[in-house]
């Protein structure tokens, strides 16, 4: 496989470091934005015919994200992008979009859409919605704030759709993910409290966190760990009893399937290149190996600028292929490399990659390594 990984002059790298987060993705996409736009329209028509339940709206929002990302990356000057950015704010706000509980890995695009709407809309209410969305996506680097917002958003959806199983599950998910993200046991306690409620749909726990939540229930009930409160143990006992009383054995259900075009769900091609330096996946891996070799010989911050260029490439790939199976591994590898240095640019890049990994890919083994190391 031909790969383009070249060292650059230090001065050129320093210029790239200063603005790396703002760089647009430069990879060549094969997805047709117009096809994705039509998929969005089809989702709208189907949902309208079904009278718009909560899941219909979530699927519609997912197709807006898909089309919006494709236009942003391939046709940033197309008027259709402005329509999609406006829809992103309108539908995203109505569904209380939150990065911690949304599973589309679309934070960068939501931020872009919210910025454009906040600067260009003449509708004060829409501008306010855009700023509220910005508050959420910009809290990706502030776990405590994001956890609180996720709880607020999940409860708002549950209040708006009280009969929907998905919104009630999301109230538990928000608290459980908040506990994993922050390490604050009060969020875990709140998750156990909600799951112990008589009407909570325990039979519908999803694959993503359901199994580990049940294991936490078992640990709390057993009382073998000292970090559970008496309230936790009481709630765990209620949950365990309700699980036993299910008419059929608990089957951890799959999360609602959202439609994704191939370029959002498949592997990145081996001969596709990312970032300012045009690294392939192999190029990214080889460059990180080389940098770590140099760090072993005490090169320290002299490797920071080059490592930030690699981080740019990974972020670029994340925008184009968010579902690539190697994405968590690449984020983790680059993050741990950046953490071997203490320059300001390395710290900023590490914070950015850590946020992506622990919020957008929280269920990956790599994210759990980072979260449990706190």
List per-residue pLDDT tens for the chain, 374 residues long.
Answer: 333 333 332 333 333 333 444 444 444 455 677 777 777 777 777 767 767 789 888 989 999 999 999 999 999 999 999 999 999 999 999 999 999 999 999 999 999 999 999 999 999 999 999 999 999 999 998 999 999 999 999 999 999 999 999 999 999 999 999 999 999 999 999 999 999 999 999 999 998 899 999 999 999 998 877 699 999 999 999 999 999 988 765 655 544 444 444 445 577 888 888 988 899 999 999 999 999 999 999 998 999 999 999 999 999 999 989 989 999 999 999 999 999 999 999 999 999 999 999 999 999 999 999 998 86
Do 14 and 43 lie in one domain? The reply is: no
**Total domain count for the chain?**
3
What is the distance between the terminal CA atoms of the chain, rounded to a whole angstrom?
A: 38
Measured distance CA(170)–CA(155) in Å, rounded: 8
Instruction: Looking at 161-277, list the stretches that DSSP marks H as alpha helix, in order from N- to C-terminal side.
Output: 165-182, 185-195, 210-222, 230-244, 262-265
Domain range for 315: 10-27+268-372
pLDDT at 35: 74
Task: Report the alpha-carbon distance of residue 271 to residue 105 in Å, rounded.
Answer: 23
Q: Which of 176, 209, 244 is the last residue of a domain?
A: 244
Residue ending a domain, choose from 91, 111, 141: 141
In degrees and rounded to multiples of 5, residue 206 shows phi and psi of -85, 165
The verdict on 219 and 280 lying in the same domain is no
Instruction: Check residue 234 and give its pLDDT.
Output: 96
What pLDDT score was predicted for residue 7? 30
Tell me the C-alpha to C-alpha distance, in Å, between residue 39 and each of 67, 87, 212: 8, 15, 35
Instruction: Identify whether residues 275 and 295 lie together within a single domain.
Output: yes
Pair (54, 128) in one structural domain: yes
Whether 327 maps to a domain, the answer reads: yes
Same domain, 18 and 59: no
**Could you tell me which residues come within 8 angstroms of residue 108 by beta carbon, excluding any fewer than 6 positions away?**
318, 319
- Whether residues 137 and 172 share a domain: the answer is no
Q: Is 76 among the domain residues?
A: yes
Q: Is 253 helix (H, G, I), strand (E, B) or coil?
A: strand
């Amino acid at each position: 496989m031909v790969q383009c990984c070249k060292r650059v002059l230090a001065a050129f790298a320093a210029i790239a470091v200063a603005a790396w987060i703002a760089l647009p993705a430069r990879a060549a996409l094969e997805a047709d934005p117009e096809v994705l736009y039509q998929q969005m329209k089809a989702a709208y028509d189907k949902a309208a015919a079904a009278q718009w339940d909560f899941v219909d709206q979530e699927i519609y929002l997912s197709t807006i994200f898909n089309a919006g990302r494709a236009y942003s990356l391939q046709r940033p000057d197309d008027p259709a992008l402005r329509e999609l950015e406006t829809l992103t704010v309108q539908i995203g706000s109505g569904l209380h979009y939150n990065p911690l509980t949304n599973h589309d890995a679309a934070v960068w695009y939501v931020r872009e859409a919210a910025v454009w709407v906040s600067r260009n809309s003449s509708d004060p209410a829409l501008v306010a919605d855009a700023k509220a969305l910005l508050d959420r996506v910009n809290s990706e680097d502030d776990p405590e704030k994001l956890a609180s917002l996720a709880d607020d958003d999940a409860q708002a959806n549950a209040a708006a759709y009280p009969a929907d199983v998905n919104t009630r599950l999301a109230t538990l998910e928000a608290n459980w993910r908040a506990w994993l993200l922050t390490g604050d046991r009060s969020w875990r306690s709140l998750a156990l409290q909600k799951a112990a409620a008589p009407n909570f749909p325990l039979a519908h726990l999803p694959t993503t966190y359901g199994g580990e939540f049940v294991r936490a229930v078992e640990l709390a009930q057993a009382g073998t760990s000292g970090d559970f409160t008496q309230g936790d143990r009481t709630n765990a006992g209620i949950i365990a009893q309700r699980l036993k009383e299910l008419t059929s054995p608990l089957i951890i259900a799959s999360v609602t399937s959202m439609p994704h075009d191939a370029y959002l769900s498949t592997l990145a091609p081996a001969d596709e290149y990312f970032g300012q330096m045009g690294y392939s996946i192999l190029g990214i891996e080889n460059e990180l190996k080389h940098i770590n070799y140099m760090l072993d010989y005490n090169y320290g911050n002299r490797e920071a600028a080059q490592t930030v260029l690699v981080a740019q490439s990974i972020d670029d790939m994340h925008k184009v292929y968010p579902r690539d199976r190697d994405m968590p591994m690449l984020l983790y590898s680059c993050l741990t490399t950046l953490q071997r240095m203490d320059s300001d640019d390395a710290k900023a890049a590490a914070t950015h990659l850590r946020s992506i990994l622990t919020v957008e890919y929280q269920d990956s083994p790599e994210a759990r390594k980072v979260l449990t190391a706190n």
